[in-house]
Amino acid sequence: MIDLDARLAGVAQQYDDLQADLADPRTASDPDSIRRLGKELARLEPVVAAYRRLGATRSELAGAREMREAEVDEEFRAMAREEIDRLSAEEQRLLEELKVLLLPRDANDERDVIMEIRAGAGGEEAALFAGELLRLYLRYAGRHRYRPEVLSLNQTGIDGVKEAIVQIHGDGAYSRFKFEGGVHRVQRVPATESSGRIHTSTVTVVVMPEVDEVEIEIDEERDLRIEVKRSSGPGGQSVNTTDSAVRITHLPTGLVVEIQDEKSQHKNRAKALSVLRSRLYDRQLAQQREADSAARRSMVGSGDRSDKIRTYNFPQDRLTDHRIGRTIHNLSQVMAGEIDDLIDALIMADHAERLSSLAETDGASS
């Protein structure tokens, strides 16, 4: 097992070295280096700050223990014991915080997001809930100052959504949205139900990190079939009079992406290629997860679109996240985009699961 203090000392040294590099006059003339060093320092800063608080706490703890042993007056010895208890608890808290901070980072966490929302079982009621989920995520993105852009929207006639593709820009967007992937189940009485019977419908959400062109190579001449046609709206009515809609088929995998929301064929083509790259990258991630037994056991943040991750029960004003057994009441707030508490709980559960997995690995190798 790797010594935690040795790892922390190494991180602190790396942080000091990066600060020295940033202060080097030669760096001042290189904007790319400044950005790279600044980003790396920002990543390490929480670890180093906690490590230094740990050092200060341990120094205080050593002083309190010396006072307890050296002090003759019982009142002062009692005060020393109380201080030792407080500082010991703080030391343990900082150690647990540092274990989480040192967990291997998801390399995709800082990426932008491509999110796909599709109505599943339940007909028009599923489409209505898909539209509500779309609005939920747009509101949530706005709360975090992310920049959402709807790339494709296939609507029904009564405010429902058959399928939506959304691009979400912003630092750390994937780290917040990645836990939303899976099957969302809704239970409620549809507005069109005259007998008051509760219906169950489903919506599938897919969350993918957006990737650059260089990360996923596509041979456009050999691997793609690109078709253009006139854009159409709900019910087939014409949206514009130019052949701007783009449909791209990736021949090796059969993946199909169609984008028609822009009036420019070139913009629709670029957006369709961006979605296609993210889907191909998502397939690679799924294959990696399948090969990794620890990741295969994990249900938190797995992104498996066959997993039923949540139930939204409107008659009981209740949301249940099945991955962590968390129940929240007040669905009106949830549907307004107030899901931070839930996502924070999922992040904590993911941290706990990964810490447990690391402990098992360390135990097996020691």
Q: State mean pLDDT over 182-204.
A: 87
Using the predicted structure, report yes or no on whether residue 137 has a pLDDT greater than 50.
yes
Share of the chain above pLDDT 90, in %: 48
Q: Tell me, what's the pLDDT at 265?
A: 85
Q: State mean pLDDT over 235-258.
A: 75
Residues paired with residue 208 on neighbouring β-strands, in sequence order: 114
Q: Tell me, what's the pLDDT at 254?
A: 92
Q: State mean pLDDT over 296-320.
A: 74
Q: Return the H-helix or E-strand segment holding 331.
A: helix 331-335
Q: Out of 62-76, 131-145, 187-201, give the one with best mean pLDDT.
A: 131-145
pLDDT tens-digit series, residues 74-133: 888 899 999 999 999 999 999 988 888 887 777 888 899 999 999 998 888 999 999 999
CB burial of 316-352 (b: ≥16 within 10 Å; e: otherwise) equals eebbbbebbeeebeebeebbebbbeebbebbbebbbe
Tokens describing residue 263: 């009036």
Average pLDDT, the chain: 85
Residue 217 banded pLDDT, cuts 50, 70, 90: confident
Q: State mean pLDDT over 272-296.
A: 78
pTM score over 0.85: no
